[in-house]
């Protein structure tokens, strides 16, 4: 999960309504910051020994959506409500900004995060 994904998914509803809507509020992910991903890409593309390798990437901490919303609220000084929604509602919302395969991948990652924390 990219850390900035939540910027695109949640910013309007936080700004306009003070709410975040997700299908699995307690699902855990380990968001990776885009600068960390860029550093990994630069290393893999410019240093020997990486050809043909694939690297899974996780962020430094396993966080639930609920925890992420609390952190955003603390950083912005706002009370933000977390509102659970159905998977189908989430599919429609995510589908506004990404193709169906991306929506399926995100929903699968969130669902997986309900049963076990991701590696960090």
pLDDT in tens, 21-36: 999 999 999 999 999 9
Query: Residue 2: is its pLDDT beyond 90?
Result: no
Task: State residue 4's pLDDT score.
Answer: 85
pLDDT category of residue 3 using cuts at 50, 70 and 90? confident
Let me know: does 69 contact 80? Beta carbons within 8 Å.
yes
DSSP letter for 60, please: S
Q: Which residues contact 82 (CB under 8 A, 6 or more apart)?
A: 19, 20, 21, 22, 25, 65, 66, 69
Give which of 66, 62, 74 is closest to 31, Cα–Cα: 62
Q: What is the mean pLDDT of residues 38-49?
A: 94
* The CATH number, out of the four listed (3.40.190.10, 3.30.460.10, 3.40.50.720, 3.20.20.150), of the domain defined by the range 5-112: 3.40.50.720
Read off the pLDDT of residues 55-95 as tens digits, 9 standing for 90 and up: 889 899 999 999 999 999 999 999 999 999 999 999 999 99
pLDDT category of residue 43 using cuts at 50, 70 and 90? very high
Backbone φ and ψ for 39, nearest 5 degrees, come out as -65, -40
Neighbours of 85 (CB within 10 A): 16
Rounded distance between C-alpha atoms, residue 103 and residue 44, angstroms:
27
More confident residue, 82 or 7: 82
């Amino acid at each position: 999960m990219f850390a900035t994904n939540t910027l695109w998914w949640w910013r309007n509803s936080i700004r306009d309504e003070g709410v975040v809507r997700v299908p699995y509020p307690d699902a855990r992910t380990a968001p990776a910051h885009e600068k960390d991903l860029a550093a990994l890409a630069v290393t893999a593309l410019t240093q020997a020994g990486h050809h043909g390798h694939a690297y899974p990437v996780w962020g430094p901490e396993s966080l639930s959506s609920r925890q992420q919303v609390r952190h955003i609220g603390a950083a912005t000084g706002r009370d933000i409500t977390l509102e659970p929604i159905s998977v189908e509602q989430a599919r429609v919302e995510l589908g506004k900004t990404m193709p169906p395969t991306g929506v399926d991948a995100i929903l699968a990652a969130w669902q997986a995060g309900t049963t076990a924390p991701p590696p960090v």
